[in-house]
Structure 1
């Protein structure tokens, strides 16, 4: 067999091996203090997020519809750039919609409690950009929404409580007033370690830092996540429902793209230096109820996650330190995530 024949057979072999299609990934995040048998403070959060397949450019990639490429021109200043070597960068677009709600402890009280946090809701949509290499992810996200009755937090909570036969909160008339909410979030993730231990078991360590600016929240944050398990996902962690927390689309080595499976445990921490939190400081431009917030707040989460075929499912129990001076106890809540790549 000549070198020409070997080359031809190798070419045919490569041609016949199916390429792994770049997927869209849809994430559903659900957080509730029901998992800690309480009904107060940060009591519910839900978010849907769509992450695009890896693209080469936000403006010219043919995988994006023409109208979306036109929209991207408007957001050129927001584009993240994690590395100088453009050939190693993959990019994703992220679209989100979500709602959060906050309540004081005493659900039967009709009048305002000056020593407890305000009733508040936050309904928003977000648009973000990810730029990543094998071990680094740079994210920029813009959230636009409304705080106050227009957030429909009261309606959503009453609907669920009536369906489950739970007493309604009686003080929603004291909630924050309607206000347009803007939040610009930046976060940088870095996988600083990824090591096999034995067989297909391994661990990785992913650090992050970033911040938020806008009338909804102004803070700087930093933290890390450690994962240990079998066939770790090729992504940037199992994040809770926090701004900038999306972990991007699965990479080429992810079991989800190879009809595989895996399971792992994880521990994550996040600390924040908070200059503004509208859900504690109250409305920006109108008089409203507020409490004296704590400037240092931290979350710790412990959980388990599994991937199978195109799915990833995770659950974490989150513990949050006190957020304001008169708060009686720290808070705990559950965080459940389902992701599907298609």
Structure 2
């Protein structure tokens, strides 16, 4: 009887792990905030909230693809100067701005552990993003100071943006690997590119089925399901960035106009070359992925009194 129960338990465990490796849907949210670093700061890129859904699509076993993932996302980003409450326009070292958007991505993940993710975003920067109201609601709810200065925010302008991201495995030895990571943006809101390495240390899957490439979802029955029963790894991504245009700093790419007839918007001058560091950790098991990272970013506006940094938390649920 004991042998029978042991065999049954092993069978059920094996079945559970197999199912965990082939969840084809993923849904979750991500929250960015400088407050997560417990430094008492409330400046620059100060808050972001994102809800996303991903679905692994069927791939031809004879193709070069190991996985293909469709992603959908809605999100809002919030920017303010060195504080969310400024006594006068003289203290606006980075413009007030909000960005509200919806987007879609298609992630092609190849058997050679490279991937190409293509994306499209459409949204609005300005009062129509309701970012001012969201910040006021957050501060009122948690008893923070009342925000002031949003009358100077970047005015309404529509955003249509294309993006591409490429990753490629360069080296792996045991519990450590290094990949090349690069991206490019082009459109009416954001133009630029960046490149740098991504280093992982720990227990991880290959890049076509890993949280590192947002591809934890994989189609049922795929021969390329997870090789690790779980992922638990730390990562480091230093990156050089060139920004050609940023509408949250410079306003409408087609020319700024004072369309409200009230207080004029205050724009800024970009630092086109920037450097960022991202350090984080990922844990994935069965139906759950948790990611936490901290991002340190050099000044993206020439008048900023300091560099900026924030924390990011993501929670994802996998299902069939």
| Common fold: TM-score over 0.5 | yes
Distance in 1 between residues matched to 2:211 and 2:108, nearest whole Å: 18
Query: Deviation string for 1:12-67 (max 9, x for gaps)?
Result: xxxxx87764411224221100023210100011112211113228xxxxxxxxxx
RMSD between aligned residues: 2.3
- CA separation in 2, counterparts of 1:204 and 1:290? 42
> Alignment partner for residue 204 of structure 2, among 232, 243, 251?
232
2:125 and 2:158 in contact (8 A); partners too: yes
The answer on whether the counterparts of 2:28 and 2:317 sit within 8 Å (CA) in structure 1 is yes
Matches within 5 A, 1:218-257: 218-229=191-202, 231-235=203-207, 247-250=214-217, 252-253=225-226, 255=228
Q: For the structure 1 residues 173 and 115, does the alpha-carbon distance in structure 2 shift closer, same or farther, using more than 3 Å as the test?
A: closer
Q: Which residue of 2 aligns with 1:208?
A: 181
> What are the equivalent positions in structure 2 for 1:14-53 lying under 5 Å apart?
21-36=22-37, 37=39, 38-53=41-56
Question: 1:238 and 1:110, CA in 2 relative to 1: closer, same or farther beyond 3 A?
Answer: farther
In the alignment, is the contact (CA less than 8 A) between 2:165 and 2:183 conserved in 1?
yes
For residue 56 of structure 2, give the secondary structure of its aligned residue in structure 1: coil
Is 1:323 the counterpart of 2:300? The answer is yes
**Structure 1 unaligned residues grouped into runs of 5+:** 1-16, 58-84, 197-201, 240-245
Counterpart of 2:164? 186
Contact between 2:69 and 2:107, CA under 8 Å: does it hold in 1?
yes
Partner Cα distance (1:232, 1:55) in 2: 23
More strand by share: 2
- Residue 326 of structure 1 deviates from its aligned partner by 1.5
Alpha-carbon spacing, 1:321–1:87, altered in 2? closer, same or farther (3 Å)? closer
TM-score normalised over the length of structure 1:
0.76
2:236 corresponds to which of 242, 267, 284? 267
TM-score by length of 2: 0.81
**Deviation sequence 1:272-307 (CA, Å, 0-9, x none):** 111101111122332342111101112101122212
- The alpha-carbon deviation at position 317 of structure 1 amounts to 1.3
Task: Confirm or deny: 8 A CA contact 1:114 1:291 kept in the other structure.
Answer: no
Of the candidates 282, 298, 312, which is equivalent to residue 251 of structure 2? 282
Report SS of the residue matched to 2:86. Answer: coil
Corresponding residue number in structure 2 for 1:90:
67
Cross-structure match for 1:144: 122
* Counterpart among 106, 110, 118 of residue 133 in structure 1: 110
In 2: Cα distance, 1:254 partner to 1:121 partner = 41
**Once the two structures are superposed, what CA deviation does each residue of 1:111-157 show, in whole Å capped at 9, x if it has no partner?**
43375111100000001211111301111100000111111111111
C-alpha distance in 2, partners of 1:308/1:248?
14
Task: Give, in angstroms, the shift of residue 110 of structure 1.
Answer: 5.4
Distance 1:191 1:47 in 2: 28
Shift of 1:89: 4.6
Deviation >6 Å, runs of 4+: none
User: Do the aligned partners of 1:305 and 1:312 also contact (CA within 8 Å) in 2?
Assistant: yes
1:80 corresponds to? none
Q: Contact (CA 8 Å) 1:147, 1:179: kept in 2 or not? A: yes
SS for the counterpart of 1:269 is strand
Maintained 8 Å contact 1:129/1:141: yes
Alpha-carbon distance in 1 for matches of 2:145, 2:27: 33
String of CA shifts for 1:159-200, please: whole Å, max 9, x gaps.
11111100121111111111111110011111222321xxxx
Give the whole-Å Cα distance in 2 for the aligned partners of 1:216 and 1:142: 12
Aligned mates of 2:135, 2:294 — CA distance in 1: 21
- Superposition map of 1:163-178 within 5 A: 163-178=141-156
8 Å contact from structure 1 (residues 269, 300) kept in 2: yes
Are residues 254 and 171 of structure 1, via their aligned partners in 2, closer, same or farther at CA, if it must alter by over 3 Å? farther
